[in-house]
Structure 1
Amino acid sequence: MNTTARTGAPAGNLADRFHATFGAAPDGIWAAPGRVNLIGEHTDYNEGFVLPFAIDKRATTALRLRADHTVRLLSTFGDQGLVEADAAALVPGTVKGWAKYPLGVVWALQRHGVEVSGFDLLLDSDVPLGAGLSSSHAIECAVITALNELTRARLSAEDMVRLTQRAENVFVGAPTGIMDQSASLRGAAGQAVFLDCRDQAVQLVPFDAREAGLVLLVIDTKVSHSHADGGYASRRASCELGAEVLGVPALRDVAVADLEEAAGLLDPETFRRVRHVVTENDRVLQTVEALRAQGPAHIGRFLDASHASMRDDFEISCPELDLAVDTARAHGAIGARMTGGGFGGSAVALTPVDDEQQVRAAVVRAFTEAGFTRPDIFTVTPAPGAERIS
């Protein structure tokens, strides 16, 4: 068993701090990764296809069960301090800050029939907050992995995906799909997770950028976003309206060939939203085919087309994301796109190793000249999913 987290604080250090804070050793330490979505944005809640992977940045939780119903939560970051709650009296929409994510998991487990007592929890994470890398789902997946083991609930990965989604949708109030949890819980080193969001079927697809002479750069624009705000919800509502008008269960059931007819049935804005989802599903399938047959060097055009669709049809980009994508492409990246729910967060740029430093420098220079906050730029690689590490 590993005794050191792959990222963030070493497990031994976190255990020591837990003991100092709560007066006893934790029952264990669990970690779950954030994710980058290689392609397939806003297709998940339309029962479509996505291709994310778990990244080598994680939320790590030290946890110890208690005999009562008190939950005590503390993180190594932020200024919220110690949070206390009654595990038997959780109410959706009443918890603020990062604590709503672990408490939402408790609430969802209880409604699933899993008896969860109180516990003490110390969280450490190096998944950037608000960057579109799913820091919140990393927390949820680490917590549900820990509680699944400690309560002997014997939940499957599919069960945990659905329960963390329910925590997000109902307790947190964010209308997200199942992509982020699926990547965090079911990811594997060197593999992207090809997920059918209709039935949770997963196929692992090789994605080794380094072997192909490439790196995947993440450009965190520092424009914070929130899935609980109105922009994400309004896009989802447009998709639901489009499916209703077109008479299909979900936009997954609309083919690219159907778009010409759809244009005559939908108002212009709803049609653009639908066109993005339909063409994005097709791009995911083409990307998977290209990775399997030819490798990462042959997917750049799909990344570029995805960003254009999100910028123009789904309208979820922003000036910082567009500048990051355009600059990266102009200085050597073979493909680039925003990743995540949009309205801020990060872009990814698939870049030849020899051009990495040139792309980094050009993006920083472009942001400075535009008067934007300096971005964080780092590489990510596909990493294992949620697991006990100590």
Structure 2
Amino acid sequence: MTQDLRELVRAEFIEVFGTTPVGVWSAPGRVNLIGEHTDYNEGFVLPFAIDRRTFAAVGVRDDSRIRVASTFSDEVAEISITELSADAVSGWAAYPLGVAWALGELGFADLGAVPGVDIMIESDVPVGAGLSSSAAIESAVAVALAELWQLDIDRPALARVGRLAENEAVGAPTGIMDQMASLLGRDDAAVFIDCRSQEADAVDLGLAGAGLAILVIDTQVEHAHATGGYRDRRASCEAGAAALGVASLRDVEVADLVRAKELLDDVTFRRVRHVVTENQRVLDTVATLTAAGPLEIGELLDASHRSMRDDFEISVPELDLAVETAQANGALGARMTGGGFGGSAIALVPQGLVSQVQVAVDGAFAEHGFGQPVTFTVTPSAGARREV
């Protein structure tokens, strides 16, 4: 598939722009194994890059224009690099154009001195499924521009570029987890990220050796982080931290929840309790993977889903059904993944039971009158890279 998309995006570039790209770069989507809504609270997360990628074919121009096109839109967006701003771009083009703007905004590039570029985007990361198709676009474009503009910038800094693009150009108040996972992913490993220090370490997963697979159950219920519930949850977390007198919920321990319950209204308390206990679950998952391997993390995944469903209230009936059906058909653990309000669930499943879980989930969705989900396994994979 990678080879096919690599060749396809080159051909599409030639068709749209009439020239040959100088290279093709790619970046993966991600699955968050555990640690939801902890990233913007300066907490801990444990995502991994997946074997579904976004490809960017890029050509260098002899002027200062930047043009972006993609296979998922007929629009070719065009603007002068020097006219880029957070407000100058909209729609899907805000992701790649926002990266170019953010490279200048953060001082990594002199946008008045870099050459223009043409960019064609192709992807097999599902959109709206909670697998961070947005960060895959941002990261592929970021590594391409960093190379072509000869910028001295490391991967964590590129992640900050992607986050700024998403926060300001797109308008989604997300943390840095998605970009870090897409840029720092490694085969058969998760990326343990301290979102306060932005330090990241690879944690071996050992899924194949344990005979396990990660099954993604895409409910086909689409979500949008630039609107609604995500922003409300973030505001609740900030209000909870302020009421507790801390810089962020990272500074609240599980033992502090007794005091928090006395100080906070019920809704804010439950939002805080999710983040605080989820941080601890991430630490426990890393410790368990290191000491005992992936066969022992199932209950932590289950507990994470209960917390998101009951305390953070970001699940939907389709996600709950996916999780419950997987658990009842042999999954060691299951949880919704991503920002919530739709998207995907993941299940940790013995390889021999994957088909059984897929059939059971399809049947359960049909029985409840839900649209048919899309299910597929994902493999922890390498991060952003130049392809050709």
Whether the 8 Å CA contact 1:316–1:342 is kept in 2: the answer is yes
Whether the 8 Å CA contact 1:224–1:344 is kept in 2: the answer is yes
Provide, for residues 121-161 of structure 1, a one-character-per-residue CA deviation record: whole Å limited to 9, x for no partner: 11110000000000011000000000000111111112111
Deviation at 1:65, TM superposition (A): 1.7
Q: Does 1:358 align with 2:346?
A: no
SS of the counterpart of 2:4?
coil
Indicate the larger mover: 116-125 or 336-345.
Answer: 116-125
Deviation at 1:94, TM superposition (A): 4.6
Hey, what does 1:80 align to over in structure 2? 74
CA distance in 2, matches of 1:123, 1:8: 15
Letter in 1 for 2:139: C
SS of the counterpart of 1:9?
helix
Indicate the larger mover: 177-186 or 207-216.
Answer: 207-216
Deviation at 1:91, TM superposition (A): 3.4
Q: Does 1:105 align with 2:103?
A: no
CA distance in 1, matches of 2:189, 2:92: 29
Whether the 8 Å CA contact 2:5–2:122 is kept in 1: the answer is no
CA distance in 1, matches of 2:232, 2:120: 35
Whether the 8 Å CA contact 1:7–1:126 is kept in 2: the answer is no
Q: Does 1:232 align with 2:226?
A: no
Whether the 8 Å CA contact 1:9–1:124 is kept in 2: the answer is no
CA distance in 2, matches of 1:384, 1:314: 31
CA distance in 1, matches of 2:352, 2:115: 53
CA distance in 1, matches of 2:118, 2:37: 35
- The percentage of counterpart residues that share the same residue type is 58
Hey, what does 1:69 align to over in structure 2? 64
CA distance in 2, matches of 1:93, 1:311: 35
Deviation at 1:385, TM superposition (A): 0.4
CA distance in 1, matches of 2:364, 2:267: 32
Whether the 8 Å CA contact 1:8–1:126 is kept in 2: the answer is no
SS of the counterpart of 1:363?
helix
Query: Structure 1 stretches of 5 or more lacking a match?
Result: 1-5
Indicate the larger mover: 291-300 or 154-163.
Answer: 154-163
Match of 1:37 among 32, 37, 57: 32
Deviation at 1:119, TM superposition (A): 1.1
TM-score by length of 2: 0.97
CA distance in 2, matches of 1:387, 1:183: 13
CA distance in 1, matches of 2:88, 2:270: 36
Q: Does 1:188 align with 2:186?
A: yes
Whether the 8 Å CA contact 2:135–2:178 is kept in 1: the answer is yes
Letter in 2 for 1:25: T
Indicate the larger mover: 206-215 or 312-321.
Answer: 206-215
Letter in 2 for 1:90: L
CA distance in 2, matches of 1:203, 1:343: 29
Whether the 8 Å CA contact 2:220–2:374 is kept in 1: the answer is yes
Deviation at 1:253, TM superposition (A): 0.9
Whether the 8 Å CA contact 1:310–1:316 is kept in 2: the answer is yes
Hey, what does 1:213 align to over in structure 2? 211
Deviation at 1:8, TM superposition (A): 7.0
Alignment of 1:1-390 (within 5 A): 7=2, 9-76=4-71, 78-113=72-107, 114=109, 115=111, 116-390=114-388
Structural RMSD (CA): 1.2
TM-score by length of 1: 0.96
Letter in 2 for 1:102: P
CA distance in 2, matches of 1:75, 1:274: 40
Query: Structure 2 stretches of 5 or more lacking a match?
Result: none
Deviation at 1:13, TM superposition (A): 3.4
CA distance in 1, matches of 2:99, 2:167: 11
Indicate the larger mover: 268-277 or 60-69.
Answer: 60-69
CA distance in 2, matches of 1:14, 1:229: 31
Provide, for residues 254-299 of structure 1, a one-character-per-residue CA deviation record: whole Å limited to 9, x for no partner: 1101101110011111000000000000000110011011111100
Letter in 2 for 1:64: G
SS of the counterpart of 2:263?
coil
Whether the 8 Å CA contact 1:8–1:57 is kept in 2: the answer is no
Provide, for residues 159-210 of structure 1, a one-character-per-residue CA deviation record: whole Å limited to 9, x for no partner: 1111111111111111000000000001101110000000111111111212
Count residues with an aligned counterpart: 384
CA distance in 2, matches of 1:7, 1:245: 49
Whether the 8 Å CA contact 1:43–1:280 is kept in 2: the answer is yes
SS of the counterpart of 1:277?
helix
After the TM superposition, list the runs of 4 or more consecutive aligned residues in structure 1 that deviate by more than 4 angstroms.
none
Indicate the larger mover: 127-136 or 12-21.
Answer: 12-21
CA distance in 2, matches of 1:330, 1:94: 49
CA distance in 1, matches of 2:98, 2:234: 22
Whether the 8 Å CA contact 1:133–1:340 is kept in 2: the answer is yes
Whether the 8 Å CA contact 2:31–2:337 is kept in 1: the answer is yes
